[in-house]
Amino acid sequence: MAERDESAASRSERLAAAQRAAAAQRAAAPNLQTRHRTSGESSTYARDFFGASRLHFIGSWKERFKAICAGMPPAPPLPTPRPGEQRAVMHIDMDCFFASVAVAHFPAFAGLPLAVSWGNPSVESGHGEIASCSYEARARGVRNGMWLKDALPLCSDGAGGPSELVVVPYQFDEYAAAAEAMYRRVFALTPHVIGVSCDECYADVTGCGDPLALATELRAQIRAATRCNASIGIGPSRLVARIATSACKPDGQSALSEEGARRLLAPQPVTALPGIGRSNAAALSAAGIATCGELAAAPAGAVRAAVGAVNGDKLRAFAAARDGRAWEEPAKVRSSIGAQSSWGVRFRARSCPVSACEEGCGCAHAFVRQLAEEVARRLGQAGMRCRGVGLKVWRAKEGWTSATAKGGMGHGACDNLSRSVALERPTASEADLAVIGLKLLQGLAIPHEALRGATRLEQGAGSAASLSTPWGDRAAPLPRAGRGGGGEGGGGRGVGRGGGGGGGGGGGGVGSGGCCGGGGGGSEAGPSDAALSLDRSEGCFLKRRRRSCGEVASSPAAPPGSAALEEYYDAVLESLRSCFLEVAFRARAEQGAEALSGLPGLLSDGAEALLRAGGAGAEAEARARSLVDEAKSLGSRWAETRRAGLWLEHWLQACDDVDRGVEPMAQRLRTCGSFRA
């Protein structure tokens, strides 16, 4: 009995010491010393936001990973497995990474329920979101993504006593050091590494030796270098290796075959598979498919009807533990540079005149200048200049008030608008980016009190305004418009080949998109009797694409399956998809005339009809349907290619991948049959 009392007393002392250490860490974090200030209250909002954003840190890790790769010799070709053997792929995943790093730097935290959050447990509101928690906290029901106010009671004694949950702030420098140490140990084993995040990667170790023995050694090296544990799954593909990791956490390793992975997957919900989010899960559920086993056994036609042909085939294969994805080496040229912000973006009704705006005034114009400063800094780090600039703005929906979640600082329900412009000369100048961004903001004519930040586009999530800059030696202008939308949330991926700005947190911001990026903007093309005419698209990427493909690309007699024809087709599809999404959104908002004002040359006849339609919502929607019918007719011209029948399915899937704001319109168009060939 005395031993138990002594043990309890010892634990109580250790817990008290840990709480004092956590309080000291919070006291040393500048952004926790005062209440959180909005963009309209702080002259250093952007700098403070990016310095404290977990999502920004995670997003910017790709650049750190590229820096590591740049110091490595070129990777040789992937080794071929020996006869009778399969490829050996490792999935390396650090356990509770942020929480483990905290324990590594303060061992007294070990064995205690620990959470990493910007929240303060002494503040009653408890709006902080938990980014990482220890397994001791998980055993009590705490989960990543949980609000602090909900997590604290789970770690109390149930008698009204204080919570035992130890809450520490982020330590981004320590995370970066540990992540780099982990990656360098993996690269010492094999040059074939795919970085997923700061705490997760894949490594192909085919021909390097016994995979399980290699995993044991690698885990020991990572533990010695970082004082953190890693779990490693091994399989013939990335998917199987990932499933193996989930089966051996924490601090374990395991190897699985496709058959073993299939058995583990069968009872799991379909959301356990990569590529299945809320939209695809809902579509599969409507088809009576809830588990991976049901998905693997479902008829191909039923799955295709639910989520599209290409996506359906891929997801059915995943459900059966088959992964046909090619290995992607990391050394890819970056097509976008960006910064994002959506949390705490608030402005007064009127901003200063641009010419009279003073440093630190906290108006929307000053915010755009802060975003320009951040993008210029990132361009400088990358040693690049931009050829185009885009501003993507989230506008609060009419009647929407500040959200209660996230302390009333979230962006809430928004519509997403965008504008972009091509530059005559490349630039990385902060002043140039600021001037261009301010002009684009003025062109959007949005009440400043309705601005909610900067964003990439992702279904059901996002933030609010984005300055994006495609860079490199490009002759193509950036597409002039794009669209998106969605509810409250953060993070996201770009829609369009170039995508939105990279490296942002909280789902929005200043970003640099590629030729087809910048918020899903379209490129220029127009129909003709014989084929697609590019006469009105001087300098656009489609014209360059046509030159590189040769005359075969524009010939109606092009041979079926021609690679040049398919490449040209892909470009046209991207152009049409972007145009249609913009039209659908603007028509729904009864702004049909404005819908195509920034998309010259895109299916010119339909565009001119929309411009003549003015603000009539019903007429604009009818014109949009007509435009879809024209696209359907265009699609029939490709009936002889080996991708026949998939053209409209690709487009349907693209619509599904866009946020909720477009879905009602897309659903109506499906109902009237305009999407079907």
For 611-661, write each residue's pLDDT tens digit. Answer: 444 434 455 445 545 554 554 444 444 333 323 333 333 444 444 443 333
pLDDT of residue 9: 74
Q: Which residue has the higher pLDDT, 2 or 428?
A: 428
- Average the pLDDT over each of 48-62, 206-220, 434-448 and give the range with the smallest value: 48-62
Does residue 171 carry a pLDDT above 70?
yes
pLDDT of residue 668: 35
Average pLDDT over residues 103-118: 91
Average pLDDT over residues 317-322: 95
pLDDT of residue 475: 26
Which residue pairs, CB below 8 angstroms and at least 24 apart, start in 123-129?
124/149, 125/149, 125/407, 126/150, 126/152, 127/405, 127/406, 127/407, 128/167, 129/406
C-alpha distances out from residue 362 to 39, 112, 359, 412, Å:
6, 42, 8, 21
pLDDT band at 338 (very low <50, low <70, confident <90, very high): low
Q: pTM value?
A: 0.58
Distance between CA 114 and CA 110 in Å, rounded? 9
Most confident of 11-15, 36-40, 606-610: 11-15
| DSSP helix/strand/coil, 254 | strand
Does residue 142 carry a pLDDT above 90?
yes
pLDDT of residue 100: 96
Does residue 557 carry a pLDDT above 50?
no
pLDDT of residue 55: 58
Average pLDDT over residues 137-163: 85
Residue corresponding to tokens 């359907």: 632
Q: Which residue has the higher pLDDT, 242 or 492?
A: 242
pLDDT band at 555 (very low <50, low <70, confident <90, very high): very low
pLDDT band at 74 (very low <50, low <70, confident <90, very high): confident
Pairing mode, strands 230-235 and 89-94: antiparallel
Distance between CA 375 and CA 337 in Å, rounded? 7
Most confident of 153-162, 451-460, 540-549: 153-162
Angle at 13 between CA 10 and CA 14, to 5 degrees: 85
pLDDT of residue 326: 86
pLDDT band at 66 (very low <50, low <70, confident <90, very high): confident
| DSSP helix/strand/coil, 513 | coil
Average pLDDT over residues 376-386: 76
Q: Which residue has the higher pLDDT, 509 or 38?
A: 38
Q: Which residue has the higher pLDDT, 590 or 83?
A: 83
pLDDT of residue 648: 37
Residue 22 Ramachandran class (φ > 0 left, ψ -120 to 50 alpha, else beta):
alpha
Q: Which residue, among 485, 389, 403, has the nearest Cα to 438 in the 3D structure? A: 389
What's the pLDDT tens digit per position in 500-526?
Answer: 333 333 333 333 333 222 333 332 222
pLDDT of residue 348: 53
Calculate the CA 205 to chain-centre distance. Answer: 28
Distance between CA 143 and CA 163 in Å, rounded? 16
pLDDT of residue 400: 55
Please give the structure tokens belonging to residue 368: 């755009």
Question: For 205-230, b where at least 16 C-beta lie within 10 A, e where not — what string?
Answer: bbebeebeebbeebbebbeeebebbb
Q: Which residue, among 634, 637, 612, 635, has the nearest Cα to 623 in the 3D structure? A: 612
Distance between CA 537 and CA 520 in Å, rounded? 18
Angle at 154 between CA 148 and CA 159, to 5 degrees: 125
Distance between CA 229 and CA 655 in Å, rounded? 41
Phi, psi of 671 (to 5 degrees): -60, -40
- Please say whether the beta carbons of 596 and 582 come within 8 A: yes
Does residue 561 carry a pLDDT above 80?
no
pLDDT of residue 330: 56
CA dihedral 246, 252, 257, 260 (to 10 degrees): -60
pLDDT of residue 214: 96
pLDDT of residue 53: 57
- Average the pLDDT over each of 41-45, 97-101, 423-427, 597-601 and give the range with the smallest value: 597-601
Share of the chain above pLDDT 70, in %: 48
Does residue 436 carry a pLDDT above 90?
no
- Average the pLDDT over each of 174-183, 185-194, 368-377, 473-482 and give the range with the smallest value: 473-482
**Catalytic-labelled residue, pool 200, 373, 374, 488:** 200
Q: Which residue has the higher pLDDT, 78 or 599?
A: 78
- Please say whether the beta carbons of 228 and 237 come within 8 A: no
Most confident of 314-323, 435-444, 484-493, 547-556: 314-323
Question: Is 200 in the active site?
Answer: yes
Average pLDDT over residues 491-499: 30
Distance between CA 13 and CA 20 in Å, rounded? 11
- Average the pLDDT over each of 176-180, 301-305, 374-378, 453-457 and give the range with the smallest value: 453-457
What's the pLDDT tens digit per position in 221-272?
Answer: 999 999 999 999 999 999 999 999 999 999 999 999 999 999 999 999 999 9
Q: What is the mean pLDDT of the chain?
A: 65
Distance between CA 28 and CA 334 in Å, rounded? 36
Does residue 151 carry a pLDDT above 80?
yes
Average pLDDT over residues 28-56: 54
pLDDT of residue 652: 42
Q: Which residue, among 484, 396, 508, has the nearest Cα to 46 in the 3D structure? A: 508
- Average the pLDDT over each of 24-28, 291-295, 528-532 and give the range with the smallest value: 528-532
Distance between CA 527 and CA 604 in Å, rounded? 8
| DSSP helix/strand/coil, 478 | coil
Q: Which residue, among 661, 668, 664, has the nearest Cα to 461 in the 3D structure? A: 661
Q: Which residue has the higher pLDDT, 572 or 63?
A: 63
The 8-class DSSP code of residue 463 comes to -
Distance between CA 158 and CA 622 in Å, rounded? 61
Does residue 599 carry a pLDDT above 50?
no
Q: Which residue has the higher pLDDT, 462 or 622?
A: 622
Does residue 413 carry a pLDDT above 50?
yes
Does residue 385 carry a pLDDT above 50?
yes
pLDDT of residue 396: 65
pLDDT band at 529 (very low <50, low <70, confident <90, very high): very low
Most confident of 156-170, 207-221, 400-414: 207-221
| DSSP helix/strand/coil, 628 | helix
Q: How many CB atoms lie within 10 A of CB 157?
A: 9
pLDDT band at 429 (very low <50, low <70, confident <90, very high): confident
Q: Which residue, among 250, 245, 220, has the nearest Cα to 235 in the 3D structure? A: 245
pLDDT of residue 656: 45
- Please say whether the beta carbons of 112 and 35 come within 8 A: no
- Please say whether the beta carbons of 499 and 492 come within 8 A: no
Q: Which residue, among 205, 177, 170, 171, has the nearest Cα to 61 in the 3D structure? A: 177
Q: Which residue has the higher pLDDT, 291 or 411?
A: 291
Q: Which residue has the higher pLDDT, 431 or 331?
A: 431
